[in-house]
Chains A and B, each alone.
Chain A
Amino acid sequence: MAFLPLIKGVVFAAIGFLLGASATAGVRTLMHLDAWSIEPVVTMGYVLALVGWLLGIGVWDYWAREWLGLKPKEQVHIGWTRFLRFNTDHKVIGVQYLVTMLAIMLLAGLLAMLMRVELAAPGETIMNANTFNTTMSLHGIMMVAVAVATVMGGFANFLVPLMIGAEDVAFPRLNTLSYWIVPPVAVLLLATPLLGGFDSGWTAYPPLSVINASGQLLFLLAFLTFGFSSILGGLNFLATIMMLRAPGMTWGRLPIFVWSIFAAALISLTATQSVALGLLTVILDRVAGTSFYSAPNGGNAILYEHIFWFYSHPAVYIMILPAFGIVLEMIAHFSRKPLFAYKWVVGSFLLVVGLSFLVWAHHLFTSGMSDYLHLPFMVTTELISIPTGMVFLSGLGTIWQGRLWLRTPMLFALGFLMNFVIGGVTGIFLADVATDIHLQDTYFVVAHFHYTIMGGEIFAIVGALYYWFPKISGRMYAERLGVLHFWWLFLSYNVTFIAMFWVGILGMPRRVADYQPDMAGANLVVSFSAFVLGASFLVFAGNFLYSWLKGPLASANPWKARTLEWQTSSPPPLENFPSEPAVLGSPYDYGVPGAIHARLAPAGGSDGLTPQA
């Protein structure tokens, strides 16, 4: 039965929850405390529920049995039910991540629509301030999860082993585990309104996050769990890229997307531990009565901001570096030219990784941190525009005198360049202390990070969906609808967020359900344009749903691209390639006479080694 593993996971989770909750209540009774105090009971219940869920979904059957000297079971590798199971095939996990994250993205997008309804006119329109705060916070954290995991979980899983000529990732079972950790995160976040919601935003600053409704606890547990998934994913990609490259796939021949994943994985492996500590300390302050953030007892809330941003600023590079990789990949293939300044781009990626750990305190310019820290963090932050600028120039240099093939993915790549330059330039005003003091916590900040993450990364993700859809699904999407979606999204997106810069400069604070009546006109423009933007995703969803079921069959290499994933069938077979590819040259030598990227054994009858002009 298809749903059996899921049912088993849920049942085990329920048993785990009951065990954890009642054990906690028992211990608390012995300690003469209020036995059923909700937060400690829920926390321990959740920890065991998570263990139960993972064991039930397949960790026991396919893995943990080994630890007791038993033989693990055989996996199911055929039929659609493999997507609902513990399956170690990186392509299955990639699709699982993509579908899950797109569903969360559409849901979080709907929450944004609700916020814009509330903000379309001043005063209370459809929800009270508390509901607005929870809506805003949920939109934030769900979109952060989407921004982190759609590429690092979805595309990286599907593509990295294919692009480096490997059969799978270095730790396939760990990979499966990191996906199955995600559904409990989604359940917890969606359950937050049941316990009063949470009004802290996705940043969860104490002291508010220590004293507010219990929905906050569910948020903290969800974020902490998601961090584990991110760490395991980062570890897996680093090991995969370092150890499983096909013969001849030297570091200098790696597709740029793989390099970007390598750089992002370095960040998610290390920095995520810092936010894990931040969230854990807030949980302990709530549940165990410690006083990290309680000033009367020697705590200090600024500590949280340091720990939190030590992860969360590098985390924006977990989001944007793979987007750079995707965009450069598409620009090279659709410009039919070698990627300009490949080595400089790789150096820039690594420089971004290094600098990303030295900029966090620019989020604290107005927090009350010591003044002498302002200047150094302003300088390091502005330094980061050097490597990002080099990436940008590589894109422009590749397009320069190229013969552009303006299919949907390329349109999104060009849209990315347009949007990201606006996001980058407006960032300078926030890195600069003098202007930041005025702009901090206004809609200018909201518009800025939407320009980098939505106009930047989400445009890259949507472009990547069009680009790799034929490889993943084996079918072709409808090109005209793709082009329609691009222009619809691009125009409505820019109207929405340019107007948001304006209300931000006027001083409208973010994360507040109401505003001064004199900003009504500009906010109505933002709201109306946001609805148009939201509607464009109907075209997107309709196109992909229809094409996946009924679209025309795609060939192995519809873009005539040179990278390895296009040299095997669409979708690729379980073992990816008929035999191990031998890599002979750069993936981007379009137009270089006689250049070859890789040679595949003729067993599959693939002509993948034919150089593409």
Chain B
Amino acid sequence: MAIATRAPAHAIAPAPEQAVRHRSRLNINRLGLWLFIASDAVFFGALLSSRYYLQGVHTPAEVSQPLGLAITVVLLLSSVSAYRGETCAVHKDQKGFRRNILFTILLGVLFLGGVAMEWTFAFEHFPPHTGFGTILFVTTGLHAFHVITGLIALVVVFRLGRDGRFSHGNFWPVEGAVKYWHFVDVAWMFIFPTLYLVG
């Protein structure tokens, strides 16, 4: 202590412009989710790279373009309703929040139904043990797994929201689930052209 008072000012002066404050819990959560998304993006990047490594830009003519476009539109729309749901929660619009999140969940389930249709179709033309089938089943399958985890998060948020829990201002669960949903949607925006449009 005593020595501290003798120290030259420049040696002990804190640097206020750089001083680090404890960030709020919300900011920490946001950073954590972004880091997770960055990490998961590498997974999808490696997955899409293996398509080009193994199959080049070859896409079989039997791939159903209308179905691919339809499920892409469904997933894009679900991101819109998810965003509306989050905004309603922030504006304390309980009814709008519930309606939009429920709609998002339904669109998500519809998307999964579309993928299932694609799978039954793919089993006939390029089953999983063929070159393109391997890529198609594994890529859509792993993406569908992400969709399912996103749906679970949305269902949890929807249930919690029913008790009016988000009227107190802690919107993080809603924001987190919706951000993750957007990520799953963006991942599909890369998967769709890679599986359907190239070649």
A and B form one complex: yes
CB within 8 Å of B: which residues of A?
67-69, 170-171, 174, 231, 234-235, 238-239, 242-250, 269-274, 276-278, 280-281, 284, 288-292, 294, 297-300, 303, 306-307, 310, 582-585, 589, 592-596, 599, 602, 607, 609-611
CB pair A609–B31 under 8 Å, yes or no, is no
Near A by CB (< 8 A), chain B positions 8-51 give 8, 11-15, 18-23, 27-28, 31-32, 35-36, 38-40, 42-43, 46-47, 50
Contact yes or no, B19 A238, CB < 8 A: no
Which residues of A are found within 8 Å of B22, using beta-carbon distances? 243-244
Contact B137 A290 (CB under 8 A): yes
Q: Are B46 and A307 in contact (CB under 8 A)?
A: yes
Residues of A within 8 A of B53 (CB): 300, 303, 306
B130 and A298 form a contact (CB under 8 A) = yes
In the bound complex, do residue A281 and residue B19 qualify as a contact, i.e. CB atoms below 8 Å apart? no
- Are B7 and A281 interface neighbours, CB within 8 A? no
A415 to chain B, nearest CB (A): 35
User: Does B129 contact A277, Cβ atoms closer than 8 Å?
Assistant: no
Residues of B within 8 A of A277 (CB): 43, 46-47, 50
The 8 Å CB contact of A247, one of B1, B11, B14, B28, is B14
Give bound CA distance, A264 to B7, whole Å.
36
Which residues of chain B in 151-184 are interfacial with respect to chain A, using CB atoms and an 8 Å cutoff?
156, 159-160, 163, 165
Distance to closest chain A CB from B143 (angstroms): 13
B131 contacts A281, C-beta separation under 8 Å: no
Contact B18 A250 (CB under 8 A): yes
Q: Which residue of A lies closest to B2 (CB)?
A: A610
Known: A235-B39, A297-B131. 15 other contacts (CB 8 A): A171-B28, A235-B32, A243-B28, A247-B14, A250-B19, A273-B43, A277-B43, A281-B138, A290-B128, A297-B134, A300-B54, A310-B46, A594-B7, A594-B11, A596-B4
Any chain A CB within 8 A of the CB of B55?
yes
Contact between chains at B43 and A610 (CB < 8 Å): no
Chain B residue with minimal CB distance to A582? B14
Interface residue B3 (Cβ < 8 Å from any Cβ of A): yes
Residues of B within 8 A of A174 (CB): 32
Q: Which of A170, A239, A294 has the most CB of B within 10 A?
A: A239
Residue in contact with A592 in the complex, picked from B11, B19, B134, CB distance below 8 Å:
B11
Q: Please pick, from B36, B46, B163, the residue contacting A235 in the complex, using a CB distance under 8 A.
A: B36
Assess the A303–B54 pair: CB atoms within 8 A.
yes
A289 to chain B, nearest CB (A): 5
Q: Quote the shortest CB–CB distance from B21 to chain A (angstroms).
A: 7
Q: How far is the CA of A297 from the CA of B6 in the complex (A)?
A: 77
- In the complex the two chains form, what is the Cα distance from A234 to B38 in whole Å? 12
Residue pair B36, A69 in contact (C-beta under 8 Å)? no
**Chain B neighbourhood of A290, CB < 8 A:** 128-129, 133-134, 137-138
Are B32 and A247 in contact, with the CB atoms below 8 A? no
* Chain A to chain B: the 10 pairs with minimum beta-carbon distance, closest first: A298-B131, A594-B7, A273-B43, A273-B42, A290-B134, A250-B18, A245-B20, A248-B14, A277-B46, A584-B12
A607 to B133, CA, bound (A): 68
Question: Which residues of B from 70 to 92 have beta carbons under 8 Å from A?
Answer: none
Question: Which one of A238, A271, A609 lies within 8 Å of B35 (CB-CB)?
Answer: A238
Which residues in B have their C-beta under 8 angstroms from that of A584?
A: 11-14
How far apart sit A270 and B38, CA to CA, in the bound complex (Å)? 7
Tell me the residues in window 118-161 of chain B with beta carbons closer than 8 Å to chain A beta carbons. 128-134, 137-138, 142, 156, 159-160
Contact A291 B42 (CB under 8 A): no
In the complex, chain A residues whose CB is within 8 Å of the CB of B137: 290
On chain B, the residues within 8 Å of A593 by CB distance are 7-8
- Are the C-beta atoms of A171 and B32 separated by less than 8 Å? yes
A220 to chain B, nearest CB (A): 15
Among A243, A307, A607, contact of B27 (Cβ-Cβ < 8 Å): A243
Provide 12 A-B residue pairs closer than 8 Å at the C-beta atoms, listed in order of the A residue. A170-B31, A170-B32, A238-B35, A248-B19, A280-B142, A289-B128, A290-B134, A584-B13, A594-B4, A594-B8, A596-B3, A596-B7
- Whether the pair B138, A284 counts as a contact (CB closer than 8 A) is yes
Measured as residues with beta carbon below 8 angstroms from the partner, the interface class of chain B is 35 or more
Asked if B14 contacts A594 (CB within 8 A), the reply is no
Q: Which of B14, B132, B134 has the most CB of A within 10 A?
A: B134
Question: Within the complex, which residue of A242, A300, A594 is in contact with B3, where a contact is CB–CB below 8 Å?
Answer: A594
- B3 closest partner in A (C-beta): A611
Cβ 8 A contact of B23, one of A243, A250, A307, A596: A243
B31 contacts across to A, CB distance below 8 A: 170, 239, 242-243
Shortest distance in angstroms between B11's beta carbon and chain A's nearest beta carbon? Answer: 5
> Do B20 and A274 touch (CB < 8 A)?
no
Once the chains are docked, how many angstroms separate the CA of A291 from the CA of B131? 7
Residues of A within 8 A of B15 (CB): 248, 250
Picked from B21, B35, B47, B134, the residue with its CB within 8 Å of the CB of A299 is B134
Contact A273 B50 (CB under 8 A): no
Residues of chain B within 8 A of A170, CB atoms compared: 28, 31-32
A592 to B53 Cα, complex, angstroms: 57
Asked if residues B7 and A292 are in contact (CB atoms below 8 Å), the reply is no
- Give min CB distance, B128 to chain A, whole Å: 5
B93 to chain A, nearest CB (A): 21
CA distance A171 to B131 in the complex (A): 42
Is B130 touching A297 in the complex (CB atoms < 8 A)? yes
Partner of B12, one of A235, A238, A294, A596: A596
Determine the chain B residues whose CB is within 8 A of the CB of A248 once the complex forms: 14-15, 19-20
Nearest Cβ on chain A to B51's Cβ, whole angstroms: 10
For A238, the closest partner residue in chain B by CB is B35
Q: Which chain B residues lie closer than 8 Å to A238 at the CB level?
A: 35
Residue numbers in B under 8 Å from A307 (CB-CB): 46, 50
Looking at the assembled complex, report how far the CB atom of A392 sits from the nearest CB atom of chain B, in whole angstroms: 30
Known contacts A595-B11, A609-B1: A239-B46 contact under CB 8 Å: no
CA distance in complex: A261, B40 (Å): 21
What chain A residues lie within 8 Å of B46 (beta carbons)?
A: 273-274, 277-278, 307, 310
Name the contact of B42 in the complex, choosing from A274, A284, A297, A596 (C-beta under 8 A).
Answer: A274
The answer on a CB contact under 8 Å between B156 and A67 is yes
Cα distance, A243 to B156, chains bound together (Å): 28
Identify which of A276, A294, A595 contacts B43 (C-beta below 8 A): A276
Q: Taking the nearest CB of chain B, how far is it from the CB of A596, in angstroms?
A: 5
Complex: how many Å from CA A244 to CA B27?
A: 11
Contact of B38 among A269, A583, A610, A611 (CB under 8 A): A269
Q: How far is the CB of A366 from chain B (nearest CB, A)?
A: 19
Chain A neighbourhood of B12, CB < 8 A: 584-585, 594-596
User: CA of A610 to CA of B173 in the docked complex: distance in angstroms?
Assistant: 45
A585 to B1, CA, bound (A): 15
B157 to chain A, nearest CB (A): 9
Chain B contacts for A292, CB-based, 8 A: 50, 54, 134, 138
Return chain B residues, CB-CB under 8 Å to A239.
28, 31-32, 35
Closest residue of chain B to A610 (Cβ to Cβ) is B3
User: Chain B contacts of A596 at CB under 8 A?
Assistant: 3-4, 7, 11-12
